[in-house]
Structure formats: structure tokens, C-alpha cells
Chains A and B, each alone.
Chain A
Amino acid sequence: MAINKTRLYKQHIEHNAKMVDFSGWNMPINYGSQINEHKIVRSSAGIFDVSHMTVFDLFGSEQEAFLRKLLPNDIGKIINNQKGLYSPLLDESGGILDDLIVYNMGNNFRIISNCATSAQNHEWFIKQSSKFDVAVSFNEDVSIIAVQGPESVKKLNKIGFNDINNLSNFDIKCDASVMIAKTGYTGEEGFEIIVNNSEVISLWKKLIDVGASPIGLGARDTLRLEAGLNLYGVDMDQTNNPYESNLSWTIDLNDTDRDFIGKKALSLIDKNISKELKGVILKERSILRSGQVISHENGTGEILSGTFSPTLGYSIGMARLDKGHNNKGKVQIRNKEFNIEIISLPFLRKGKIKV
């Protein structure tokens, strides 16, 4: 498979990025120190090239009906607002195919989803839209920069984005060449800006000139884990349903007349006995990693994401486990057993420690 490069590849090299293969994309993992980059986003403002994410644009007269069938979260909630909505994408048996944000841009809808699943999603959208007057087009003409951190508004104001200060979470603003969304994957205040490929280098340079620091995908991963946000392919996949993935809140059953893909299968799940996804804290000296086995007084579980939390100074992770743990358990790491605390996510939100 050919390795894709974003339009910002040269900028990354100039900033001494360590580049890695990331699902077929050559992306910056860090620009020197992942921990420093993590702390910059928590304290000031960082910029991320996330142009590897996939952008789909919808066309046609039945976009609303199609999306209400496609997604378990109900875009009826954003039908009158220019706004984004987070939703998992489910198969008929309720398994998670991906997670995404769908944006109501006024005249049409846009979906942004993960890069590893892009071909599979495209096929799925085409298949599922066949009964609707809807076309789904893979948009390769745009790039995405995320601006994240408590000073992100200030940095964007300095380069001429002046109408963003009153946006609420998931609100968007768009014109012909740029869409700016108050979204992100760090748990800090921030924005994701989708621009035409021809304009992305100039936007990146302007942000650097006002003091925003480039941040690699390594820090993006530790930031999102502290914020309790799932990573598709690690914390959930097609073998998991939303109830055991901390995503019950995305299953919108308010409109009882609405059918959506996976609805029937989800209705058959006994939520009292299904597993749950929780945060795990290890304060003793070791590091939680994917695949480690957990035990507690009423069952077992497994670590999904796991790493060292730069903000908290100890190891944190996510785990899928049996209920009845009473917030305590043990984890097995290389033949040794350590005590863990089991918590409700997130660990951290907007600079505030929640644990």
C-alpha cells in the first residue's frame, strides 16, 4: 500500500517531527517530546495535523432520512442548527463499525470518521444509501487542523477568526472555503478547522507565528485518554456494542417511530449483565497496557488503552469489565499483581482533575 502524506508533510519535517506510519498515512508522532507537547495543550494551545481523518460529504434530497436510519444518535436534534453530533456507526447486530461526527452545514451534511476505516465506511454508506436519494462523496480536497487548549480562542482571534468566541461545544461556522467546529479529542477547549488543501499550509504557518505549538499524534492519544474518549480499534470494535463501550448516551430512543441500523439487536441486550467500560488508575509503580488482565470480587476484565498520564503522574487506562467491582480491583502485570481503582470517566476535563 502506498503511504499517504498530508499537505503539511514538509512543515512537519521542518519542525523535526518523528514520522510514523499511521494506518497508511505518514504522520508526526512527536516533534521531540510527547510529554512536553501534552502539557502545552493542557496549559496553552497546540495545533495538530489531523488531515488523515476521512471527510465524507452528502448530497441529495433525503440526507436527513438517511442519517436517521444510519446512525443510533438522532440527527433530528441538530436539524435546525449548524452543529455537529457524535455517534457510533453500528452494524445490524449492534456491533460498532466506527465512531464519527456528523455535521449539519446548513445545505448539506458532512461526516468525519477515522482513517483506518475509510474504505470500509465508504462502502457501507453507499450500500445503506441505495434506498435514499443520497450520494456520499469522499472529499479529498480538504485538510484538517485541530487547535486545542485553553488559549485556542485567543490564538484564533489573533489570526482573524473573530466570530468563534461564543460557539458552544459542537457548534460550527462555515463559509465556502472553511468550516470551523468547536470539537476536539483532547478534553480541552478547542476547534477543528477544515480548509481547502490549497490554504492549509498558510493557516498552519499563521498559527505557528502566533505561538501555537505543533503537537504529534502521540500526545493526542494521551490527551484523549485522560479525557476519557474512546479510540476506535483499541477501546471498541465490531465485537462490542455501545452499552459496553460507555456510549449508552449516544443511543437515542426518544423517537419511538424511528428505526436505525442495529436498533433491534440493541433492544435484546440485557444491560444489567453486559460488561461496562470504565477508567482504571494504577498508583503503584508500573504501567497499564492493552491486554493486561483485571480481576475483582465479582468478575474479570481487560485493559484496553493504557499508558502513563502526563498530567496525573501515574498510569491510567480504560478497561472493559464485569459489573460489581465496587471501584476496586487487581491487575496482573508481568507475574505481579497490583491494586487498581476503577472510576467513571473522564480522568480530566477542561483542565480539571475529576478523579
Chain B
Amino acid sequence: MNEIPGDLKFKKSHEWVRVETDGSVTIGISDHAQNLLGDIVFVELPEIGAQMSTEDEVAIVESVKAASDVYSPISGEIIEVNEVLLDNPEIINESPYHEGWFYKLQPSDSEEINELLSPEQYGDICEE
């Protein structure tokens, strides 16, 4: 079980967000989500420079079991993607909150970050 780092914020749809010191945000999927998916074998990441609105499909993650869409929890411009995942998607299973990040984004509306769930709130949802 991977501990939820205290500095993360969550969306109900199992994405996490970390606000970096330069104001950009890093986004990935939760330990709970990777555990539900099982062994991840393929990931499709967004293009750098793409504009995302909240709840746009931003990435696709496929496990041996099924394909799932990842929705952007925050609006803004994609500034970096974790290309290591393309050849080593199993990193998402191994380290969902650290090496397994998906992409970085420059938020266009910082208010959206305040609407996200705390780790405790998200943890409660997962237990339901």
C-alpha cells in the first residue's frame, strides 16, 4: 500500500494534483485507482502545449483488464509529460504518487485547486 502524501489534492475520479513551488501542477492517478486497474500495460499521454479544461479526457491508461480514461482535474496548458511511462507503464503501479506522475500543467484558473479534495476526504470516498 502506498501512503498518500499529505501535500496532494484529489478529484473524486481518482486523479491527484500536487502544486509545485513555481505555480505549475503535477498530475497523476491515485494508488486506489492503480490498484483497481491491475497491471498497467499501456498509457497514452497528452501533447505538450495542449489546452485542457477540467474533465476533458487527457490520457488513457490500459491494464491487462481494461482501458480507462483519465480526466484533467485542472484547466490549463500541458507543459511536460512523463515520457518514461510510455515504455515503462508499470511505474504507475509501483509508484503512483512519485515516479508514476502523468503530466505537468500550468493552471489557467487557480481557484479550481481549492475545490479539490484533501487526502482525508478522498480516503473516505475510497472506503465507501
Contacts and interface: CB of A to CB of B under 8 A. Distances in A.
Question: Which residue of B41, B44, B67, B90 has the most chain A CB atoms within 10 A of its CB atom?
Answer: B41
A206 interface: no
Interface of A: 18, 29-30, 33-35, 218, 222, 285-287, 289, 307-308, 310, 315, 334
B62 to A, nearest CB: 5
Contacts of B64: 34-35, 218, 222, 307-308, 310
B39 A286 contact: no
Interface in B63-90: 64-67, 86, 90
Interface residues of B, number: 14
A274 to B, nearest CB: 31
A286 B65 contact: no
The 10 closest A-B pairs by CB, nearest first: A308-B41, A35-B39, A287-B62, A34-B39, A287-B42, A34-B64, A308-B64, A307-B64, A34-B38, A33-B39
Given A218-B65, A286-B44, A310-B64, 19 more contacts: A18-B38, A29-B38, A30-B38, A33-B93, A34-B39, A34-B64, A35-B64, A218-B38, A285-B42, A285-B44, A285-B86, A287-B41, A287-B42, A287-B62, A287-B67, A289-B67, A307-B64, A308-B41, A334-B60
A334 B59 CA distance: 12
B95 to A, nearest CB: 15
Nearest to B36: A18
Nearest to A334: B60
A308 B37 CA distance: 14
Contacts of B38: 18, 29-30, 33-34, 218
Contact of B62 (A35, A218, A308): A308
A34 B38 CA distance: 7
B52 to A, nearest CB: 17
